[in-house]
Structure 1
C-alpha cells in the first residue's frame, strides 16, 4: 500500500519537482502540499499522513519550529524527511536520529532511499516524537549563533553585540550594519548576501522584512501604516530610519505584532 505524504516547501518549483519524483516512484500518494510552517501543522492534523517532506528553511516558522509546535500540541508525528539546500551539521544529526534528509536539487535515487527508510522505520520501537525531541535538543544546542558580529569602517574593525544591531541593508553588493541608539555606529559586514548574514545571527531576533533589509525585531520603535495596506518600520537608530516591509512579509509582520 502506498504511503500517504504531505509536501511542505516555500518554493513552488521544489514542491513540483518532489511531487513529480514521488509520483514516478509509485510508492507514495501525495495527499496535500503546503508552502509554510503554519500550513504544515494544519495539513498534518487534517490528513495524518504517513510521511511528511518538510523544508528546513522557510520564512516565519521553519521546519524545526513545525516539529516543536507539533510536540507541544501533542500531535502524533508522522515520519519526517527534511529537505535542505545546505549540507551542514544537521545532516548527520538527522541520520543519527533515524530521520532522513534530501539535499536540493533532489536526486531520484535519494528520494527512493528516503521512501525505503520511511517504510523500514514504521515498525521501529522508538516513536517519532521521542526521536525528534532528541533531534530538536541537539540542533538547538548546536545552533547558537556567535553573540558578536565583526564590522569594518574607515580602516578599522570592531565588534558589536547582536542585540545592539538595529538593522542591516544591502546596496550594490555591500552590506551596511547600523547599531541602535543616539550613539549608533555604521560598519560593513564581510558577508556577501543578507542570507549569509542572517545565517550568522539569531533568527529569533532578526527578520528579513524586505529583500534589501534585515531588522532587529526588538529595535523596531514604531510600525507605520503606509499606502495600499503596506507598512514601514521606524527603527531605533539615531536617524529613526524608516524601512519598508515587502508585501511578501506583511503577513509575518501582522503575526509578530498582532496587527
Structure 2
C-alpha cells in the first residue's frame, strides 16, 4: 500500500513553509501527500504580508473529499488561525476517525508575525490538542499554551512538556530550536518518560519552515509504519541535514527555507553527469 499523509495547514506562496513545505517533506521521505488549505497566507522569506482565512465549511468539504477517497495513514495539522476552523477540523478528524495526528501549534511565523489569533489559543488547547498522538511546540508556543514564561533549561522544558501532556495529547515534542548552546535539544515527553534528542546547532539564517518540516517529517514516518519514537528520531535527523544543506540553495532575500531535497537533488545531478 502507498503510504499517504495529509497536511491541514495554511499556504506559503514562496514554498518554504506551510503546506508547500509539508508536501515537499512527504515527497522527500517517500510518502504521498494530500492537503487541506485552512488559510491563504501572503508571505515570503522576509515576513507575512496578509492572511485570508478559508471559511470553515469549505475546510470541512476539503477534509471530506480527502478522507472519503484516500486511506490516510497520518495527519499533520499546522496553521489554524480562528476558533471556527479549529472546531471544524476537530469535528472532521473525529468523524473520519483520523489516526496518527501530529499537531504543530503554529502561532508565530519565523519572521515574528502572528499566525494564530489570541482568541483561538484556548480553542486549540481545549478542543484539538486532546486528539493528537503528538504535539510539537517550540519554546514560545509551549509557553503560550501554558500561559507561562518560556523554558530556559532542559529541566523546565521537561516540566512544561509534562504539563502539556495533561491537556490530552499522548506525547509532546518540546523543540529546543529557540534555546542556546552548541546543541539543539528536543525532548519527547510521554507517560513513559522523557527521551532526549540532540543535534548540533547549525549556523544558518535559512530556518524558514523548520517547524512545518519537522512535524510533517514525523507524520511521514508514522504513515510509513514507524512507531512514534522512531518517527521522531528520523524526522530530527532529516531536519538537521536539511538545515545543514540550507545554504546550498539561494532562495529569497530574508530567512530562506531549509533544503527539503538535500538527499535527492545531488543524486539527480550525478545521474545527469
Bigger proportion of residues as strand: 1
TM-score by length of structure 2 reads: 0.34
TM-score, structure 1 normalization: 0.36
| Pair member with larger Rg | 1
